[in-house]
A and B are shown apart, each in its own frame.
Chain A
Amino acid sequence: MDIATQPPAPPAPADRPTPAEQKRAARGATRPGDRVFLGLSRGSGILLLAIMAAIAIFLTYRASLVLSKNEGNFLTTFEWNATATPPVFGIAVLAFGTIVTSIIAMLIAVPVSVGIALFITHYAPKKLGGPIAYVIDLLAAVPSIVYGLWGALFLVPHLEGLFGWLDDYFGWTGIFAWQGGAPRTLLTVGILLAIMILPIITNVSREVFRQAPQMHQEAALALGATRWEVIRMSVIPFGRSGVISASMLGLGRALGETMAVATVLSPDFLIHASLLDPGGGTFAQNIAAKFSEANDQGRDALIASGLVLFVITLLVNGAARLIIARRKEYSGANA
């Protein structure tokens, strides 16, 4: 600015910081240590965004190379012949399998996890709660291929009883009709995924339930609430958004799980009306199964399917954030 046009201002004391300096001070960037830390944390943030962008750009670019050549409809074709010329492939079966197995996994894992977490934090005596929490932590550390082997060698043969029962009582719905094939089906995968995501949902839920404020639990108690009513009135509402976040972490793992699914499922490229029919596939399983023998074009097609999985994950996370934000006013954080 032009000093000549300014009214004669009283000369500022020499030690008063300029607005720019004040702004910097407010960010805590005046001392060398602060500046280094600010640089580090800002750099990490930017790096994260850059990596996300790089992944998205890479996936989009490689996918675009092959999508223009695709003779089938990418969204609706029940076929995966991406190495042929011209390529014919579609993700319908993969999207169906991925979503169905994840839904089954969530339906089983979320209630069980919440139950275990509540048991550990509010019901079990300390001597029992500790060991249970420890075992759950161990479950989280088991590699997914081990789950896959256990699923294929133990779970699959032992599910025949359940499948028969489902067929007897719910076969008429069509969804649970069983032809008697080996239970290497989407339902089996869903059950296995449920076991795999159980630890992470349980652990995060346990942490939020444990932080439920004592004063609200006492408020419920003093009104004459039983233990379950205390949990319903003060613990679960407080932990609700935490449980949703935990479930999203679990869902993320279920959507992307590869080895365990590939080991258990006997894949084909059809959508079966019954969950008890062997067949179907998931994005991750299909990529793992086809990647090693695919040519460049085939790999680009697999990348295109990976891009769809990426988008589905983003949408699911966005939806979860919306659910949490909508009831923010009422969240325990306002207490």
Chain B
Amino acid sequence: MAKRIDVSGLTAYYSSHKAIEDISMTVEPRSVTAFIGPSGCGKSTFLRTLNRMHEVTPGGRVEGKVLLDDEDLYGSHVDPVAVRRTVGMVFQRPNPFPTMSIFDNVAAGLRLNGSYKKSELNDVVEKSLKGANLWNEVKDRLNKPGSGLSGGQQQRLCIARAIAVEPQVLLMDEPCSALDPISTLAIEDLIGELKERFTIVIVTHNMQQAARVSDRTAFFNLAAVGQPGKLIEIDETERIFSNPSVQATEDYISGRFG
């Protein structure tokens, strides 16, 4: 169920502003890759180019290639809607649909993809909520609105919603930045379990988190405000945090940045 991502020469713009420039990297299937770097360095923008969400922003456009197991996401015959069904996404702020129940939130993606029998839906919803470590907390109130849950539970509900459609890749954009430490720990544990089934890419501002959850870490930086963000280096997480090959990376992780 997990695919490998190959990015080559990717540049993304907001209208005429170049947000990220010439990024190339490979993400292995069934691994966790963390993106770190200062604010504005383009790591979220880059993440959003991986499921063609970047171009939803007015003026957003992309040059370069993103291969998902040899298929170019930006090929001329590729439907962005289909891309987003294969590459799921979890956002910074938990965003369950406020007008839907917990059950309907998890089933939302499936219902988009076609019609399912009630029993099939039940199975998928249960499996996804279990996969997101949320089942025991919500199994008695599946018909209550998702907005009644705590922030951490809402975020796990969003993860359940994303994995319910069995994506190849799961993108997470600072999924814990709005959560307390206990909820954060729950999500981090969950990421460890999910990587056995999915390719995971996570943007985080928390370097301990990157060190804890990821197999590989990519460091992004920008030369100055207004300049495009660039990928400085990507390597095994252990190596990035102990002995990075670029000085800027070491400065950033040891807090000597800026």
Please measure, in the bound complex, the distance between the C-alpha atom of A223 and the C-alpha atom of B89, giving whole angstroms.
Answer: 8
The verdict on B192 contacting chain A, using a C-beta distance below 8 Å, is no
Task: Tell me whether A224 and B85 are in contact in the complex, defined as CB-CB below 8 angstroms, given that A218-B53, A329-B145, A334-B147 are known contacts.
Answer: yes
Q: Which residues of B contact A29 (CB under 8 A)?
A: none
Partner of B165, one of A216, A220, A223, A240: A223
Which of A35-43, A231-239, A316-324 is the interface stretch?
A231-239
Q: How far is the CB of A288 from chain B (nearest CB, A)?
A: 43
How far apart are B23's CB and chain A's nearest CB, in angstroms? 21
Chain A interface category by residue count: 20 to 34
Within 8 A of B (CB), among A224-275: 224-226, 229, 233-234, 237-238, 240
Q: Which residue of B lies closest to A232 (CB)?
A: B112
A219 touches B82 (CB 8 A): no
Say if the beta carbon of B13 comes within 8 Å of chain A.
no
Complex CA distance for A233 and B51, rounded to whole angstroms = 20
Contact digits for A9-39, partner B, Cβ 8 Å, 1 yes 0 no:
0000000000000000000000000000000
Chain A residues within 8 Å of B, Cβ to Cβ? 213, 215-216, 218-226, 229, 233-234, 237-238, 240, 327, 329-335
**Which of B51, B96, B98, B112 has most A Cβ within 10 Å?**
B98
Given A229-B112, A334-B147, are A224 and B84 neighbors across the interface (CB < 8 Å)?
Answer: yes
Task: Tell whether A224 pairs with B109 under 8 Å between CB atoms, given A215-B91, A219-B91.
Answer: yes
Our count of residue pairs bridging A and B at CB distance below 8 angstroms stands at 84
Question: In the assembled complex, how far is the CB of residue A105 from the closest CB belonging to chain B, in whole angstroms?
Answer: 28
A237 to chain B, nearest CB (A): 3
CB <8 Å contact, A330 and B99: yes
Residues of B within 8 A of A327 (CB): 99
Instruction: Please state if B162 and A330 are interface contacts (CB–CB under 8 Å).
Output: no
Closest-CB distance, A134 to chain B (whole angstroms): 21
B27 contacts the other chain (CB 8 A)? no
CB-based nearest A residue for B113: A224
Judge whether A330 and B100 touch: CB under 8 Å: yes
Interface string of B132-153 (1 = CB under 8 A from A): 0000000000001101100000
B56 touches A215 (CB 8 A): no
B125 to chain A, nearest CB (A): 14
**Given known A-B contacts A222-B162, A223-B161, A216 and B95 have beta carbons under 8 A apart:** yes
The residues of B that contact A224 with a CB separation of less than 8 Å are: 81-85, 109, 112-113, 165
19 other contacts beyond A224-B82, A224-B113, A237-B97, with CB at 8 A cut-off? Answer: A218-B95, A219-B96, A219-B158, A219-B161, A222-B51, A222-B53, A222-B84, A222-B89, A223-B108, A223-B165, A225-B84, A237-B100, A329-B148, A330-B98, A330-B100, A330-B145, A334-B98, A334-B145, A334-B148
A237 to B101, CA, bound (A): 13
Contact of B84 among A215, A221, A331 (CB under 8 A): A221
Q: Which residue of B lies closest to A225 (CB)?
A: B112
Interface residues of B in 76-111 (CB under 8 A from A): 81-85, 88-89, 91, 93, 95-101, 108-109
Min CB distance, B175 to chain A, in Å? 13
A332 interface neighbour in B99, B108, B113, B161, Cβ under 8 Å = B99
CB distance from A215 to the nearest CB of B (A): 4
Whether the Cβ atoms of A218 and B109 lie closer than 8 Å is no
Is there contact, CB below 8 Å, between A215 and B95? yes
Q: Are A331 and B99 in contact (CB under 8 A)?
A: yes
| Interfacial chain B residues near A226, Cβ < 8 Å | 81
Bound CA–CA A229/B161 (angstroms): 16
With A and B bound together, what is the CA distance between A218 and B165 in angstroms? Answer: 16
Please indicate the chain B residues that have their CB under 8 angstroms from the CB of A332 in the complex.
98-99
